[in-house]
Structure 1
Amino acid sequence: MALLDIPISVNRSSRHLTAPGKNGIAYVCNAGVQSLSSSTDFVKHKSRSMRIAATMVSPSIDRGRVVKYPKHPAWESVKQERWEGKLQIEGQIPDWLNGTYIRNGPGVYDIGGEDSKNFFDGYATLVRLHFEDGGLTACHAQLQSEAYKAAIKNNRVCCREFSTIPKTSNILSTIRNIAGLLTGDLITDNAIISVARLGDGRVICLTETMKGTIQINPNTLETIGPFKYTDKLGALNQSGHPIVSDTEFITLLPDFVNPGYHVIRMLPGTNQRNLIGKVNCRSDTSVGWVHSFALTDNYIIVPEMPMKYSPKNILSGDLLEWHQDSMAYMHVISKETGDMVASVEVPQFMAFHFINAYEEKDEGSGKPISIIVDSCEYYGSAEIWEIMRLQHLRSFVGNDILPNSRIGRFNIPLNGSLRGTLETAIPPKEHGRGIDMCTINPKYRGKMYRYAYGCGTKRPCHYANCLTKIDLKEKSSKFWYDEGSIPSEPFFVGHPGENAEDDGVVISIVTSKDGNGFVVILDGSTFTEIARAKLPYGLPYGLHGCWIPSVQA
């Protein structure tokens, strides 16, 4: 296997060696570095070479045992393109819960008898849950992207997905692929990551390519078509997680020519993005990957981590690589002026998702003195990317192979200091040493908050397998767990006129190992199950969703 075929390649300028290991996975070797007892031990060592080695290899993973496990529907293609029906409910759904939850995520992995390489290569499957007067109807449908339609028509992958690329049989087909990528024709529009309701009521699905912004009908899940921006900002990529409210849509556009990020805003009722400001990368000449970011009432926080875009891999392998020798930074700009407020060096980190951020203020003047940013952080290790390969998700045999993660809390001073800190917000044992896919009460976005709801772990496991309520004040947690099941993102919906931050319910779509699936509704305060509704079959694991109140659904 060629080096460019591995999921995460290593910066070749480093002194470390990358070699294919078992199952075609790359492992990092560093002569003279001893094994560490756990994937978190690297934080105890000051040696840079020791830290780098531990970042890429976790001795806790048993690489010698990979046995095909009976197929779990969470990692298999959806059974049919569309289904709709009323669900039978066990328990009681609150009468006040009226509206629609829409979830996005990969759902079709197998095209032409060939599996996708990575979880993020699956074609988007939308799920709609409509709550009304204590009842629940469900629907799922395939997003009709051009990439999906071409794959179905030709019975093969036709666009450049995250890791899976169109096959070539000769030099001419290779040239056609190159030309298609240069013109943008072969760049995917498979919008699998998130779904957002804009302030004007329109609903769009997004991925990290600019083409992958597609408008849908929230009542039927029918695909309306590409969401076309009317500005001239251009760009090939975007953050997969815009931050959307009733008043604005904010996202980041990576700049590959002058490495950095354009921070942009779009107002309701328009398709025109406007530039707020520009953040330049500081670590090296490559643009840091930015899946998500954070904001407060007054500031936008732009992360820069050692996971970098790698255009050289566009024809083979993933488009990301981990730069071991790169530094990490957190940049802060003003939401109002776009001016840089702070740019601080922080310890190396790896995070898909930022949970929330807020400003700490001086008690006397009331002026912000620092910014707190919480994330689902993997101890500066890129190993989670190895687990995201479908062959690993489908090969669990009971080993504890999920890399450790934590709620990583950044403290960014606003006093001109050049360094920030990264600490663990609560003891990792509170969430099983694994946490991701966190949501909060949206009324507390950008403000001081107490609770987060995420996918935690009950080990041994190879992926997050339980739901967790995190209490950041008491540094404690509550769990919901169903043996053998994989729950998706827990989505919080607040009670109308809520009095407390956790006054509401949490919704999650769960897939069981026996092939079944169900919707679970938990009390946001006690975190106990109050209702569940069985689906006709288990659905593939999804990613992120949005809530549409009934008056707008």
Structure 2
Amino acid sequence: MRFGHLFDSSALLHRFAIHDGRATYQCRFLQSNTYKRNQAERRIVFSEFGTSAVPDPCHTIFDRVAAIFNPGESLSDNAMISVYPFGDEMYAFTEGPVIHRIDPVTLDTLERKNLSKSLALVNHTSHPHVMPNGDVFNVGMAVVKGRIQHVVVKFPFTEKGDMFERAHVVGTMKPRWPLHPAYMHTFGVTENYFVIVEQPLSVSLMGVVRNQLANKPLAASLRWYSQYETHIVLISRKTGKEVTRYRTDTLFYLHIINAFEQDGRLVVDLCAYNDAKVIDAMYIQAIESMQSNADYADWFRGRPKRLDITLGSPRLTKFKPKLLADLGCETPRIHYDIYNGKPYRFFYAISSDVDVENPGLIIKVDTLTGEIKTWCDGNCYPSEPIFLPRPGAKAEDDGVLLSALVRGAEDEHSVALLILDASSLKELARVSFRTPSAAPKCLHGWFLPGRP
């Protein structure tokens, strides 16, 4: 049996460690309930984002109805998208309400937290924001007074005690369409606002119910409404209420690069697509047939764009996006610790263009001058580049980029850690490891200093 979509494969944690001039590599499957059940029963037990489970003949229609009201336990808890710190603890994330605490040294799965039990979350984004003081914010959907709403949740940092026990809702907004809330993978945080990009890719709540009963995957509940524009919604960080919303062109996005306020303006940079076809492009069947699909490369034809919004403009004023760079960029990262939610200049990404001469690019974009720098090596495919500042650095790009490399063609049993100079994209170091099986490409990562 195999999974049908890139968002569905079993979560595999990777760890590169550098200590005393030597490097090690290890990986381990996340011991989620889904993974353990799949292994025990030798079949796909839970439906994933794009994969239907094998029906269990012991489950009646009443079991499936009951499961609708318990998403944290009835849905897959396969947290294979990202990893984030909460205080000194690390957690693996997906868009379901369950996250897993992992040991950052051994990669053991230590604890399973179901946020739907404490915060009534139906889902949340895979990309929370970690603030300089250690607080963590995330956006999700929750049941508020019997209705689905988008909520912003704060996990206050504490050196003693549990950040999750202190978690509470600090912002709410009603979906543009009550029965079709927007699909969200990321959001922005500025000095005064939580920035929600409400795109016309929605989750049909009735579709979720029908598909749960029919044992269909979540992707079958998504609806793309090309006739509607995208909204940018501002939620006050002081009051927690929606302040206003603006309009822009119809677009689809997964990742916001950064958002900030400056001189009475709100700037939102994101990796934008004309439509949501990129999700279809990540089905395994689509990947296997890409050479015979003349439209496949266009499905991935995203571009980094900037929304420059004049704050105080009338509600639903429309602002056109501006092109930041004419090449595909995905999994963007910035000098996060200093510049998240603040005016910045540089971001780093990997290429999303699949039909260029070398699709395995690492990209640096200067948002001030438009200058673009790239790194590539033949038959190498990098993961999200993670920026690490040089100790005592003064310049925004004074540091290094870390990226995990895999290889294609006849060299799939290889994984490497690449280190680039973030200013020039010159390769500084690389350490490679042979693996007993084909090494999968990583998605998102996090750097932790001071680990043995």
Identical aligned residues as a percent: 27
Q: How many pairs are equivalent?
A: 425
Spell out the pairing of 1:310-321 with structure 2 (5 A cutoff). 310-311=204-205, 312=207, 313-314=211-212, 315-317=215-217, 318=219, 319-321=221-223
Of 339, 343, 349 in structure 1, the residue corresponding to residue 251 of structure 2 is 349
- What SS does the aligned partner of 2:280 have? helix
Post-superposition offset of 1:508: 0.9
Spell out the pairing of 1:63-462 with structure 2 (5 A cutoff). 114-168=1-55, 176-184=63-71, 185-198=73-86, 200-211=87-98, 213-227=99-113, 232-245=118-131, 246-255=133-142, 258-269=147-158, 270-271=163-164, 272-283=166-177, 285-311=179-205, 312=207, 313-314=211-212, 315-317=215-217, 318=219, 319-361=221-263, 369-379=264-274, 381-397=275-291, 401-402=296-297, 403-418=300-315, 419-428=317-326, 431=327, 434-442=328-336, 443-456=338-351, 460=355
TM-score by length of 1: 0.72
Q: Quick one: structure 1 residues 457 and 470, their matched pair in 2 at CA, closer, same or farther if it must change by over 3 Å?
A: same
CA distance in 1, matches of 2:37, 2:120: 24
- Are the counterparts in 2 of residues 151 and 157 from structure 1 also a CA contact under 8 Å? yes
Q: Structure 2 regions of 5+ residues with no counterpart?
A: none
Post-superposition offset of 1:483: 2.6
Structure 1: which amino acid aligns with 2:395?
A
CA distance in 1, matches of 2:197, 2:444: 20
CA distance in 2, matches of 1:447, 1:464: 31
- Are the counterparts in 1 of residues 404 and 415 from structure 2 also a CA contact under 8 Å? yes
Spell out the pairing of 1:466-481 with structure 2 (5 A cutoff). 466-481=361-376
Q: Quick one: structure 1 residues 165 and 458, their matched pair in 2 at CA, closer, same or farther if it must change by over 3 Å?
A: closer
Bigger RCO (CA 8 Å, 6+ sep): 1
The equivalent residue for 1:82 is none
Q: Quick one: structure 1 residues 231 and 255, their matched pair in 2 at CA, closer, same or farther if it must change by over 3 Å?
A: closer
CA distance in 2, matches of 1:172, 1:127: 35
The equivalent residue for 1:532 is 430
- Are the counterparts in 2 of residues 413 and 420 from structure 1 also a CA contact under 8 Å? no
- Are the counterparts in 1 of residues 47 and 216 from structure 2 also a CA contact under 8 Å? no
- What SS does the aligned partner of 1:153 have? helix
Structure 1: which amino acid aligns with 2:448?
I
CA distance in 1, matches of 2:354, 2:276: 20
Q: Quick one: structure 1 residues 136 and 439, their matched pair in 2 at CA, closer, same or farther if it must change by over 3 Å?
A: same
CA distance in 1, matches of 2:288, 2:421: 32
Of 393, 403, 406 in structure 2, the residue corresponding to residue 511 of structure 1 is 406
Q: Structure 1 regions of 5+ residues with no counterpart?
A: 1-113, 362-368
Post-superposition offset of 1:134: 3.0
CA distance in 1, matches of 2:445, 2:32: 18
1:207-228 CA distance string (max 9 Å, x none) = 11112x1101111110001135
- Are the counterparts in 2 of residues 396 and 462 from structure 1 also a CA contact under 8 Å? no
CA distance in 1, matches of 2:111, 2:57: 34
CA distance in 2, matches of 1:172, 1:201: 40
1:290-328 CA distance string (max 9 Å, x none) = 110011122210111111113413432414221233332
Q: Give 1 or 2 for the bigger CA radius of gyration.
A: 1
1:30-58 CA distance string (max 9 Å, x none) = xxxxxxxxxxxxxxxxxxxxxxxxxxxxx
Task: After superposing the two structures, state which structure 1 stretch, 118-127 or 333-342, moved more.
Answer: 333-342
User: What value does the CA root-mean-square deviation take over the aligned residues?
Assistant: 2.4
Post-superposition offset of 1:458: 6.0
CA distance in 2, matches of 1:527, 1:416: 40
TM-score by length of 2: 0.88
CA distance in 1, matches of 2:32, 2:186: 23
Task: After superposing the two structures, state which structure 1 stretch, 177-186 or 486-495, moved more.
Answer: 177-186
